[in-house]
Amino acid sequence: MPLLELFLTFLKIGAVSFGGGYAMIPLVTDEVIAHGWLTAEEILNFIAVSESTPGPIAINMATFVGASQGGILGAMLATLGVVLPSFVIILIIASVIKGLLKFAGVKAFLNGLRPVVVGLIVGTAITMFLSVILSLNTVYEQVTFDWKALVIFFVAAITHFVYKKITNKNVSPILLIIISALLGMLFYGVL
Amino acid sequence: MKKLKTLFALFFAMFKIGLFTFGGGYAMIAIIERELVERKKWIEHEEFLDVIAIAESTPGPLAINAATYIGYKIGGVLGSVFATLGVVLPSFTIIYLISLVFDKFLSLVWVQYAFRGIQACVAFLILSAGFKMLKKLKKNIFNVVFITLTIGCLVGFSLFAIDFSSIFYILIGGVVGLTVYLIGYIKSKKSKTVIDTRQESEKANGGEE
């Protein structure tokens, strides 16, 4: 039952996706790769699409993975799955137990998972960096250094910091994506 | 009839928010506030801040959480359904349409070059999001140990192709947090009862003398 599997997987992801947008990425990446639904590279490509289209990244990813596996029905089920846990929890908080988050035990649980979520995001970024720059996915594979990717990585970083320094605002991810897309065409297509 | 009108108003307000918020989560807060607090006055500013705090501590995207909560306040359970549907529908439609042509799009050779560049950028975007959250976190031993362990395990496991879902990391983190709290709680209770009994015995001794 691939459709049921889609629904249940995204239900699981929806239930533990504390910490918003980016915290979702490690969860989706793990589950989607483990199921063989998409490759790591396809996920990276899609994150860029997700950043450049409106709406929460979680919804975008669920819809995309669902559609790739089960068409429109798959997209609906995956999206329903990822939304349902937060919908039910918020409904419970809004209607019955307003003070749910004030219980010391709930607070302790949240305090415990918060550093883990941050660690997961940074860890995922590191594995992505190794994969993109060195083609290093596992130690059993050949390492090849891609200096072009490293240059693009640093251009994105420098643009981010310079923009922040000058305007005191965060640069839009879309702008960084456009710049790196142009550099990608230049480096891999022309040079 | 009036109820139906409210439901559609909710739906369209959320649809607009879903359609025009790029970059997810935090970018949405300002837009939701302008639309629902200032313009529609569906919810007080104070309560809106509570909603954000709740949304941050519950699983799921911030926009969905806020939509569900505000929808419930305005129109009950049906209101929350309409509001949530409204905020989800734009991204659902757009991404579904993209998914139909994405593979063909990616098969163009220049698009592949572009995406090789974009992949490096995405690695940076995620790293910078992680560091931003890292800066906000309190620097105590518990947090430092947990972050280091999580990063080490995640990178190590993935390099050695060991399958371990991120879901477990999160649950383990939560359970350890809860356990540490409970141990502290029991200890403080014990020491309190020790003090209590000591005081009582002192009192009793004093009474004898």
In SS3 terms, chain A reads as: CHHHHHHHHHHHHHHHCCCCHHHHHHHHHHHHHHCCCCCHHHHHHHHHHHHHCECCHHHHHHHHHHHHHHHHHHHHHHHHHHHHHHHHHHHHHHHCCCCHHHCHHHHHHHHHHHHHHHHHHHHHHHHHHHHHHHCCCCCCCCCCCCHHHHHHHHHHHHHHHHHHHHHCCCCCHHHHHHHHHHHHHHHHHHC
A83 with A121, same domain? yes
Q: In Å, what is the CA distance from B190 to each residue of B183, B187, B199?
A: 10, 5, 14
| Identity of the residue numbered A191 | L
Give the chain A residue whose CA is nearest to the CA of B129: A22
φ and ψ at B64, to 5 degrees?
-65, -45
Q: Can you name the residues that pair with A154 across neighbouring β-strands? A: none
Nearest to B8 by CA among B92, B90, B85, B66: B85
- The one-character DSSP state at B160 is T
State the Cα–Cα distance between residues B61 and A184, nearest whole angstrom.
Answer: 31
- Taking an 8 Å cut-off on Cβ atoms, the answer to whether B18 and A54 are in contact is yes
> Residue B11 pLDDT > 90, yes or no?
yes
Looking at residue B23, what is its pLDDT? 58
- Hey, are the CB atoms on B167 and A12 less than 8 Å from each other? yes
Q: What angle do CA B161, B167, B173 make, to 5 degrees?
A: 110
Q: Among residues 120-159 of chain B, which lie with CB inside 8 Å of chain A?
A: 120-131, 133-134, 137, 142-144, 146-155, 158-159
In chain A, which among 109-148 make CB contacts under 8 A with chain B? Answer: 109-130, 132-133, 136-140, 148
Place of tokens 């490690």: A26
Give yes or no for A185 touching B (CB within 8 A): yes
pLDDT band at B198 (very low <50, low <70, confident <90, very high): low
User: In one letter, which amino acid is B192?
Assistant: K
Residue B203 has a pLDDT of: 58
A165 and A136 in one domain?
no
- Whether A127 sits inside 8 A of B154 (CB atoms) is yes
Q: Tell me what pLDDT residue B208 has.
A: 41
Neighbours of B98 (CB within 10 A): 19
Q: Give me the number of domains chain A comprises.
A: 2
pLDDT the model gives residue B207: 43
Three-class DSSP category at B173: helix
**Mind listing the pLDDT tens digit for each residue in A17-66?**
887 777 888 888 888 988 999 988 888 898 888 888 888 888 899 999 99
Residues 6+ apart with CB under 8 A from A42: none
- Note whether A87 contacts B84, CB cutoff 8 Å: yes
Residue A54's beta-bridge partner residues?
A: B22
Q: Which long-range contacts (CB under 8 A, 24 or more apart) does B98-103 make?
A: B98/A49, B98/A53, B98/A64, B99/A63, B99/A64, B99/A67, B99/A68, B99/A75, B100/A67, B102/A46, B102/A49, B102/A64
Structure tokens at A174: 């879309």
In tens, the pLDDT along B41-84 reads: 888 888 888 887 788 778 888 888 888 998 998 889 999 999 99
Whether residue A153 sits in one domain with residue A102: no
Residue A181 sits in which domain range? 146-191
Mean pLDDT estimate for chain B: 84
pLDDT at position A160: 93
Q: Which residues, at least 6 apart from B136, have a Cβ–Cβ distance to it below 8 Å?
A: none
Which of A118, A127, A132, A138 should one mutate to test binding to chain B, selecting the residue with the greatest count of B CBs within 10 A?
A118
Q: How far is CA B7 from CA A160, B71, B78, in A?
A: 41, 8, 8
Are A173 and A154 in a shared domain?
yes
Average pLDDT for chain A = 88
The interface predicted TM-score (ipTM) is 0.87
Do A133 and A179 belong to one domain? no
What CA–CA distance (Å, rounded) separates B136 from B147?
13
Q: Are A109 and A184 in the same domain?
A: no
Q: By CA distance, what is B50's nearest residue in A?
A: A98
Better pLDDT: B188 or B192: B188
**What is the distance between the alpha carbons of residues A173 and B22, in angstroms, rounded to a whole number?**
9
**Residue recorded with tokens 């690695």:** B123
Q: Select from B24, B94, B116 the Cβ nearest to the Cβ of A56.
A: B24
Of the pLDDT bands very low, low, confident and very high (cuts 50, 70, 90), residue B151 is very high
pLDDT at B196: 64
Task: Tell me which residue in A79, A90, A188 faces B68 most closely, judged by beta carbons.
Answer: A90
Residues of chain A with pLDDT under 50: none
> Do A43 and A109 fall within a single domain?
yes
Residue A176 contacts B where some CB pair is shorter than 8 Å: yes
Q: What residues does each domain of chain B span?
A: 2-108, 140-209
Are B69 and B51 within 8 A, CB to CB? yes
Cβ-based contacts of B107 with chain A (< 8 Å): none
Confidence of residue B200 (pLDDT cuts 50, 70, 90): low
